[in-house]
């Protein structure tokens, strides 16, 4: 191991040994800072089967790759990782330690910062070295209305998470294979550091998922009818693997719960696909769905405001269209992941 | 006068001269009253600045009509109103008699100089008439409370009301007895009228001793009753006897103008705390309101939120605040907070600020400003508000409109109209303030378009502000987000001041009210017309021809911010009539118009209980007509929504007045 006194560290997330795009961006930013500081860039890789990634990361400027592997680490173990990383930080005192600002990256970064008692800026979109070598950490705050520049006093290590998409990816022209250092995580782990063990991921059931997270939504309104009419909505949602939602009218007639209401007094959704059935599209509703990527509207009234917003407008009775559509979808999308099977499926 | 008869001041009582007893009783009674009065006044003096001395002429006029003539009392409640007028006028008449009687107890042979002779005889007759009328009115009022039991008295201090009614009746009876017994003892003094005459007839032939005892007993019990009544005043709703007239005099002259958080600090960001936490944060007029409340419940009886089953009752808000203040804890900061404590969040957030309570209140209590002040505290200091409005706040702050459509899209609705004059505000005759609804709401854009077509037809050179226009801030102010209101208002004021002197016309009563009545608090006065007024003006000048065509009946729904807030009831109706419509009044119209449910920020809030728009649609359906006209985007959208929710309403249309006129041959060929 080289002298760490002036090192830049980057934690890299990966899927089965393939570093994620958001992490590569952080590696490139680490390289840029390390060059300015005339320092070494150390990349930290945790998990299983991370061997292949080392050479790959060299292309983006990693001088050294530290890998920590364990058979128990089929899935990321934030608690254990945090214990190891914070111990390493305390031991080596790097100058800068960066994480990707993904959900899991931040989960880990904040744990490490707290354990090592180091200040951290989250979701930075720009990092600069000030004249006196101080790291200036820039980020948006207050609902993206204010741009803050933060710098920390005291201690040596500066920590930040970096917003995905904020940094440029740049391959090195001349690549030298990085040195690979294998760590022994066991050295740093105490039993109390492994209270939580991640044993798997279960894919969310579109039928129960929060509609704000749904990628496909089938929404019904007054035109669909009451609870009875909504059966067809549920069937259609199942056929396309989408979540059921509706307008306030649908909540009023009791067809769906309040938590599935789209609109001003409900939720704002941004699915990849929204199939909107029997919803005329009053402003109070469209406020909640205008971020949908693709909108298909089915309505008897071709002058309904929602038809104007739709990428595809189908004029007709939903209850005539739905059965045909569902049949056809079943042919085209033969096997849908059902809930019970999804429980066994994993996402990684 | 009958005073040569047995004189209380000359007779011994409890071993001391009557005059000494009387003087002691009256001085002690009045002193005790003054002590309790000053305690009440303490809260008043600790309160905040409130300028209420402008337009004295208007104030004196209001004092005459609403105060002394009691104009509002019989308006919707004829029986109760008539009973109160009798008692009130009776009190006024009997003030003189009371002074006279007080003198009688302190000095033998006491007489008010001007009550001798002719005026005295007339006065005696008049007061005898009123004594009897007041007595009968007390009986009527007692019957109403005990037997009729109007719903609006629920929660009022009933025991106190009965006590005072009995006391007043007793005062009348004891006076009659005093007078009548004296007349029997000294028949030369006269024959009496009405009440005292009846007493005379009853007691004629009774022994002198009995009559003397009765006369003295009736006098001293009358005085004791009077002192008791006086000392009950500061502790009860009957404090209004003293405070109601001043409260009417100092009433708010522009209902549409919400009180700023502090009159002496116009810019909200200069305030350490915003809104009402303790009673000391209320203005002196707001404290006077609390003392003036008569617990009559007309406010609650006409409150749409209450009718929909929400927790809010304006009467109870006033009563709770007063009882808290009078209980001694209200003035201190250590006690329960007023907002979200004494008055619950549910009550504070139930209000649509429709102003119906204030319209009804006979003593000019201002309920809505207190609600707004309490919301200000919750929003500004505690960040406590219904979560669904958060998006509207954020959108208005960032994008300049509550929907979050953005300033860049403000002109979009007019893109198909190909209006060259839109580009040149400097040369325009008027500025059309489109508002967020006109700019962004799919349905209401049709109204904006119809209005523009009428302007074009009338040859009016007009302009819109396009991306320079922003949310007027009404919803923010009404939900207590004063920061946001002032932020939005200042941006608009900057733009409006560039066109200083140009008339602004709005289609939205909420924008209208904000621009007309509220921006002046931030230093911007601008001439604003609502489109109902402006179209009528154009028609009157002959610039806008409206072919009447076949007459047919339509109903009209009053907007609160147009009607109650700004007194514009007739303009939209007249306009509809010009268009050939026979306007059929809905149940609950004009001053009593029923809120559509969207005011006070409720366009962005979720209603609890019954929906107001659906309740209002009941009235519309009952009218059994094909068209209901409105003059407000909130009302239009809410009614349309309410109609959509029902089955039997197929074919029922909601139209803005401008659409109706345009449709009636205004714009269309």
The pLDDT tens digits of the residues spanning B597-655 come to 999 999 999 888 899 999 999 999 999 899 999 999 999 999 998 998 887 777 899 99
B404 and chain A in contact, CB less than 8 A: yes
B342: closest CA of chain A, how far (Å): 28
**Rounded distance, CA B401 to CA B408, Å?**
11
A287: Cβ contacts below 8 Å, ≥ 6 apart: A263, A264, A268, B391, B403, B404
The answer to whether the CB atoms of B645 and A249 lie below 8 A apart is yes
pLDDT at A347 over 50: no
Task: Please state the separation of Cα A75 from the chain's center in Å.
Answer: 16
pLDDT grade for B329, boundaries at 50, 70 and 90: low
* Most confident of the following: A243-257, B306-320, B394-408, B598-612: B306-320
Sequence-distant (≥ 6) Cβ neighbours of residue B122 within 8 angstroms: none
Q: How far apart are CA B67 and CA B84, in angstroms?
A: 12
Q: Beta B16-17 vs B12-13: how paired, if at all? A: antiparallel
Centroid of chain to Cα A222:
35
**Is A283 within 8 Å of B388 when comparing Cβ atoms?**
no
pLDDT tens-digit profile of B527-555? 999 999 999 999 999 999 988 767 789 99
Out of A25-34, A38-47, B659-668, pick the least confident. Answer: B659-668
A145 to B398: CB separation less than 8 angstroms, yes or no:
yes
Whether residue B165 is predicted with pLDDT greater than 50 in this model: the reply is yes
Cβ–Cβ below 8 Å for B442 and A249: no
Closest residue to B604, CB basis, from A222, A264, A305: A264
Check CB contact under 8 Å for A143 and B644: no
Mutation for A interface: B441, B442, B650, most A CBs within 10 A? B442
At A133 the pLDDT is 83
Q: Which residue has the tokens 């002959």?
A: B542
Length of chain A counted residue by residue: 348
Of B392, B606, B641, the CB nearest to A282: B641
Which helix (H) or strand (E) segment holds residue B579: the answer is none
**Model pLDDT, residue A6:** 72
pLDDT for A2 beyond 70: no
- Residue-level pLDDT at B4: 56
Q: What is the pLDDT of residue A335?
A: 52
Give me B157's structure tokens: 């201090």
Residue with more model confidence, B485 or B336: B485
- Give chain A positions within 8 Å (CB) of B445: none
- Calculate the alpha carbon distances from A161 to A35, B191, B398, B605 in Å: 19, 102, 26, 37
User: Residue B23 pLDDT more than 80?
Assistant: yes
8 Å CB contact of B403 and A287? yes
| Average pLDDT across chain A, whole number | 89
Show the tokens assigned to B22: 């009387």
B418: left (phi over 0), alpha (psi -120 to 50) or beta: left
pLDDT tens track for B120-145: 999 999 999 999 999 999 999 999 99
Mean pLDDT over residues B473-477, rounded? Answer: 98
Closest residue in chain A to residue B611, using alpha carbons only? A252
CB under 8 Å to B374, separation ≥6 — which residues?
Answer: B275, B276, B338, B339, B340, B343, B348, B480
Q: How confident is the model at residue B355 (pLDDT cuts 50, 70, 90)?
A: very high
Between A203 and B255, residue with greater pLDDT: B255
Q: For B665, which DSSP code?
A: I
Give the minimum alpha-carbon distance from B170 to chain A in angstroms, rounded to a whole number. 57
Which of A268, A283, A286, A305 would best serve as a mutation to test chain B binding (most B beta carbons within 10 A)? A283
Compare A111 and B109 and report the one with higher pLDDT: A111
Give the mean pLDDT of A320-334.
87
Specify whether the CB–CB gap between B511 and B439 falls below 8 A.
no
Confidence band, pLDDT 50/70/90 cuts, at residue A346: very low
Contact A281 B442 (CB under 8 A): yes
* A317–chain B nearest CA distance, Å: 18
Q: What percent of chain A has pLDDT over 70?
A: 94
Residue A334 pLDDT > 60: no
Q: What is the pLDDT of residues B223-251, one digit of tens each?
A: 999 999 999 999 999 999 999 999 999 99
Mean pLDDT is lowest, of A192-196, B300-304, B521-525, for A192-196
More confident residue, A2 or B343: B343
Nearest alpha carbon to residue B349 among B592, B608, B594: B608
In the numeric block, which tokens belong to residue B13? 């009582």
Q: Rounded mean pLDDT of B201-230?
A: 95
Q: How far is Cα of residue A182 from the mean position of the Cα atoms in its chain?
A: 29
User: In this predicted complex, what is the ipTM?
Assistant: 0.70
Asked whether residue A345 carries a pLDDT value surpassing 60, the answer given is no
Cβ neighbours of B403 in A, within 8 Å: 283, 287
Compute the average pLDDT of residues A270-293.
92
Q: Closest Cα partner for B559 from B610, B603, B624?
A: B603
Percent of chain B with pLDDT over 70: 96
pLDDT for the residue A331: 83
pLDDT per residue over B580-594, tens digit each?
899 999 999 999 999
Q: pTM of the prediction?
A: 0.81
What is the structure's pLDDT at B1?
A: 42
- The mean pLDDT value for B93-112 works out to 93
Average pLDDT over residues B293-308: 96
| pLDDT (tens digit per residue) in A221-230 | 988 988 889 9
Average pLDDT (A32-61) is 90
Q: Report pLDDT for B270.
A: 93
Instruction: Note whether A164 and A100 are within 8 A (CB).
Output: yes
Asked whether the beta carbons of residue B391 and residue A264 sit closer than 8 angstroms, the reply is yes
Which candidate, B506, B516, B528, B538, places its Cα nearest to that of B438? B506
Percent of chain A at pLDDT exceeding 90:
61
Task: Over range B106-133, report the average pLDDT.
Answer: 92
Tens of pLDDT, residues A242-255: 999 999 989 988 89
B646 in reach of chain A (CB within 8 A): no
Q: Which residues contact B80 (CB under 8 A, 6 or more apart)?
A: B73, B141, B144, B150, B296
pLDDT of residue A340: 43
Q: Is B618 on the interface with A (CB under 8 A)?
A: no
Residues from chain B contacting residue A264 (CB–CB below 8 Å): 388, 391-392, 604
- Please answer whether residues A41 and A10 qualify as being in contact, where contact means their C-beta atoms are separated by less than 8 angstroms: yes
Q: How far apart are CA A152 and CA A135, in angstroms?
A: 8
Query: Where does the pLDDT of residue A4 fall: very low under 50, low under 70, confident under 90, or very high at 90 and above?
Result: low
- B441 and chain A in contact, CB less than 8 A: yes
| pLDDT for position B420 | 53
């Amino acid at each position: 191991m080289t002298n760490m006194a002036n090192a830049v560290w980057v934690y890299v997330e990966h899927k089965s040994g393939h570093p994620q795009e958001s992490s590569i961006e952080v590696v490139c930013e680490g390289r840029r800072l390390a060059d300015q500081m005339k320092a070494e860039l150390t990349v930290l890789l945790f998990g299983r089967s991370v061997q292949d990634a080392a050479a790959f990361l060299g292309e983006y400027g990693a001088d050294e790759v530290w890998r920590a592997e364990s058979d128990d680490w089929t899935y990321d173990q934030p608690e254990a990782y945090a214990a190891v990383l914070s111990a390493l930080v305390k031991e080596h005192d790097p100058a800068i330690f960066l994480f990707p600002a993904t959900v899991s990256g931040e989960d880990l970064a904040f744990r490490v910062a707290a354990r090592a008692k180091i200040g951290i800026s989250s979701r930075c979109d720009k990092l600069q070295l000030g004249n006196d070598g101080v790291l200036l950490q820039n980020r948006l705050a207050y609902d993206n209305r204010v741009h803050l520049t933060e710098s920390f006093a005291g201690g040596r290590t500066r920590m930040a998470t970096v917003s995905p998409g904020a940094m440029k990816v740049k391959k090195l022209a001349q690549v030298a294979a990085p040195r690979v250092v294998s760590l022994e995580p066991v050295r740093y782990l105490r039993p109390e550091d492994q209270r939580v063990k991640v044993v798997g991921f279960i894919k969310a059931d579109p039928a129960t998922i929060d509609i704000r997270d749904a990628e496909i939504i089938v929404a019904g309104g007054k035109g669909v009818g009451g609870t009875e009419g909504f059966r067809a909505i549920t069937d259609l949602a199942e056929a396309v693997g989408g979540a059921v939602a509706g307008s306030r009218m649908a909540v009023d007639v009791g067809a769906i719960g309040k938590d599935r209401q789209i609109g001003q007094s409900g939720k704002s959704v941004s699915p990849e696909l929204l199939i909107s059935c029997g919803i005329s599209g009053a402003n109070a509703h469209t406020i909640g769905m205008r971020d949908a990527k693709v909108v298909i509207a089915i309505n008897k009234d071709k002058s309904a405001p929602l038809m104007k917003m739709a990428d595809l407008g189908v004029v007709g009775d939903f209850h005539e269209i739905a059965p045909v559509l569902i049949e056809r979808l079943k042919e085209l999308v033969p096997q849908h992941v059902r809930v019970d099977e999804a429980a066994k499926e994993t996402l990684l | 006068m009958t005073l040569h008869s047995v004189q209380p001041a000359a007779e011994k009582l409890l071993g001391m001269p009557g005059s000494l007893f009387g003087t002691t009783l009256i001085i002690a009674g009045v002193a005790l009253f003054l002590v309790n009065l000053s305690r009440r006044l303490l809260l008043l003096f600790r309160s905040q600045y409130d300028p209420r001395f402008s337009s004295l002429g208007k104030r004196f006029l209001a004092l005459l009509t609403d105060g002394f003539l009691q104009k509002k009392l019989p308006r919707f409640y004829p029986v109760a109103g008539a009973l109160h007028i009798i008692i009130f006028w009776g009190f006024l008449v009997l003030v003189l008699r009371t002074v006279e009687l007080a003198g009688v107890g302190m000095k033998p042979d006491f007489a008010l100089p001007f009550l001798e002779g002719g005026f005295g005889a007339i006065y005696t007759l008049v007061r005898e008439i009123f004594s009897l009328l007041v007595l009968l009115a007390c009986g009527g009022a007692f019957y109403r409370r005990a037997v009729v039991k109007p719903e609006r008295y629920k929660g009022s201090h009933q025991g106190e009301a009965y006590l005072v009614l009995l006391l007043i009746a007793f005062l009348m009876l004891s006076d009659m007895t005093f007078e009548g017994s004296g007349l029997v003892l000294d028949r030369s003094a006269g024959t009496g009228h009405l009440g005292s005459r009846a007493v005379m007839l009853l007691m004629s032939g009774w022994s002198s001793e009995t009559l003397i005892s009765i006369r003295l007993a009736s006098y001293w019990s009358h005085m004791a009753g009077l002192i008791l009544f006086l000392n009950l005043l500061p502790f009860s709703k009957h404090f209004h006897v003293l405070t109601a007239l001043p409260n009417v005099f100092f009433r708010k002259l522009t209902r549409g103008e919400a009180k700023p958080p502090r009159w002496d600090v116009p810019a909200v960001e200069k305030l350490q705390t915003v809104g009402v936490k303790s009673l000391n944060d209320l203005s002196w007029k707001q404290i006077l309101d609390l003392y003036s409340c008569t617990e009559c419940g007309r406010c609650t009886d006409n409150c749409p939120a209450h009718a929909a089953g929400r927790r809010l009752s304006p009467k109870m808000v006033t009563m709770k605040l007063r009882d808290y203040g009078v209980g001694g804890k209200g003035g201190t900061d250590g006690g329960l907070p007023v907002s979200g404590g004494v008055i619950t969040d549910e009550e504070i957030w139930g209000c649509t600020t429709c102003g119906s309570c204030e319209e009804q209140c006979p003593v000019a209590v201002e309920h809505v400003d207190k609600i707004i002040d309490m919301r200000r505290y919750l929003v500004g200091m505690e960040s406590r508000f219904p979560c669904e409005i958060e998006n509207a706040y954020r959108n208005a702050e960032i994008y300049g409109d509550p929907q979050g459509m953005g300033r860049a899209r403000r002109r979009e609705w007019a893109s198909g109209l190909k209006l060259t004059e839109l580009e040149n505000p400097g040369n325009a005759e008027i500025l059309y303030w489109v508002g967020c609804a006109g700019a962004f709401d799919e349905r209401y854009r049709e109204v904006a378009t119809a209005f523009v077509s009428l302007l074009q037809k009338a040859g009016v050179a007009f302009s819109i502000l396009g991306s320079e226009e922003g949310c007027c801030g009404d919803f923010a102010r009404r939900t207590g987000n004063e920061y946001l209101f002032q932020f939005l208002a200042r941006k608009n004021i900057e733009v409006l001041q560039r066109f200083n002197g140009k008339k602004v016309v709005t289609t939205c009563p909420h924008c209208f009210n904000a621009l007309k009545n509220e921006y002046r608090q931030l230093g911007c006065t601008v001439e604003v017309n609502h489109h109902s007024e402006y179209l009528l003006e154009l028609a009157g000048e002959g610039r806008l021809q409206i072919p009447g065509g076949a007459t047919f009946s339509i109903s009209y729904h009053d907007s609160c911010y147009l009607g109650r807030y700004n007194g514009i009831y007739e303009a939209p109706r007249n306009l509809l009539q010009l268009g050939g419509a026979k306007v059929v009044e809905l149940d609950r119209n004009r001053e009593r118009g029923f809120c559509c449910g969207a005011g006070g920020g409720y366009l962005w809030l979720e209603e609890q209980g019954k929906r107001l728009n659906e309740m209002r649609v009941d009235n519309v359906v009952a009218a059994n007509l094909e068209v209901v006209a409105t003059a407000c985007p909130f009302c239009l959208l809410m009614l349309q929504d309410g109609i959509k929710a029902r089955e039997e309403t197929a074919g029922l249309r909601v139209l803005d007045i401008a659409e109706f006129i345009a449709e009636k041959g205004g714009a269309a060929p």
